Amino acid sequence: MSQFTLSELDAAAERLRRAIPPTPQYHWPLLSARVGAEIWVKHENHTPVGAFKVRGGILHMADLAAAKPGLPGVISATRGNHGQSIAFGAARAGLKATIVVPHGNSTEKNAAMRALGAELVEHGHDFQAALEHARDLAASRGLHFVGSFLPDLVRGVSTYALEFFRAAPALDRVYVPIGLGSGICGVIAARDALGLATEVIGVVAENAPAYALSFEAHKPVSTNTADTLADGMACRVPVEGALEVIWKGAARIVRVSEAQIEGAMRAYFSDTHNVAEGAGAAGLAAALAERHLNAGKRVGLILSGGNVDRAMFARIISQKDDA
């Protein structure tokens, strides 16, 4: 995937402004004290689906509907936020969406996708199994398969980074959670288009380290499992196109534990009263883990999603932090 020009990103941002407003970015003093740095948060939890993915979904579904009139429908696989984005964008474009999720997926994300008009199919034990089933259904039903990492999707989600870099003071580094890679590739694209020197650091869960392993080996490395509460990062087979961008544009990839992710979810709520799902809180978890590197720096965090089931959030938020 080639990088985008600034004019291409500006055009995407202009199109999106007709559908959804820009999200805010705030400097949070309590978070800054906690990390020991000047912290700025881009609130992608404030989009209409509570996550950044909707930006790509709106653009891609509109372009697809225009390019393929009479298309019987689209199909994709998800753990939730990508599926909501496709359902949201498909409804706006007049397309029928079918979304495949693994068994045991978030009940509240499932409900949100159905509310957006999607047909939901449950299959398999994890995202990869759901993805393979979605490809099979696309062939048998004559539907257009939509992956989670496509140039249109990256171009759309890159607009959050464009907003962030222009609205916040000059950032020394930004921590970006990695699912299949559209978010971090969008940040790299916007940084490069603007000619900035900001360091981009990816974040994965220790229990889903495929992108970290691939970054270190400089070749795609899959894992057998991806068992993390951060379902938006529960990837075990990386996308090579995303890796090509990450290898060139990211400084490093940080792994965070389940306990660190939960601690970051509590910190977001205590310090900002924002709800962050596991993947949404991962950037903060990494910034805290690298507190020693962040002293005196201006650090950007992407609160990339706030879609966590109430029961899970209640359990996590009620726990005490380690002394």
The continuous run of DSSP H or E covering 76 comes out as strand 74-77
**Rounded Cα–Cα distance for residues 246 and 224 (Å):** 22
CATH topology classification for 6-52+151-318: Rossmann fold (3.40.50)
**Rounded Cα–Cα distance for residues 38 and 33 (Å):** 8
**Rounded Cα–Cα distance for residues 210 and 124 (Å):** 20
User: For position 322, what pLDDT does the model report?
Assistant: 74
Smallest CA-to-CA distance from 291 within 39, 35, 41 is with 35
- In three-state secondary structure terms, 50 is coil
The continuous run of DSSP H or E covering 156 comes out as helix 151-167
User: For position 119, what pLDDT does the model report?
Assistant: 96
**Rounded Cα–Cα distance for residues 214 and 208 (Å):** 12
- In three-state secondary structure terms, 99 is strand
pLDDT single digits (tens) 137-167: 999 999 999 988 888 899 999 999 999 999 9
**Rounded Cα–Cα distance for residues 100 and 78 (Å):** 6
pLDDT single digits (tens) 190-203: 999 999 999 999 99
Domains of the chain by residue range: 6-52+151-318, 54-145
pLDDT band, residue 1 (cuts 50/70/90): very low
Please state whether beta strands 97-101 and 119-122 pair in parallel, antiparallel, or not at all (unpaired). parallel
pLDDT single digits (tens) 272-291: 999 999 999 999 999 999 99
**Rounded Cα–Cα distance for residues 237 and 217 (Å):** 14
Q: What is the dihedral of CA 54, 204, 146, 150, to 10 degrees?
A: 80
Does residue 96 surpass a pLDDT of 80? yes
Does residue 76 surpass a pLDDT of 50? yes
The CATH code of domain 54-145 reads: 3.40.50.1100
**Rounded Cα–Cα distance for residues 125 and 140 (Å):** 21
**Rounded Cα–Cα distance for residues 271 and 63 (Å):** 40
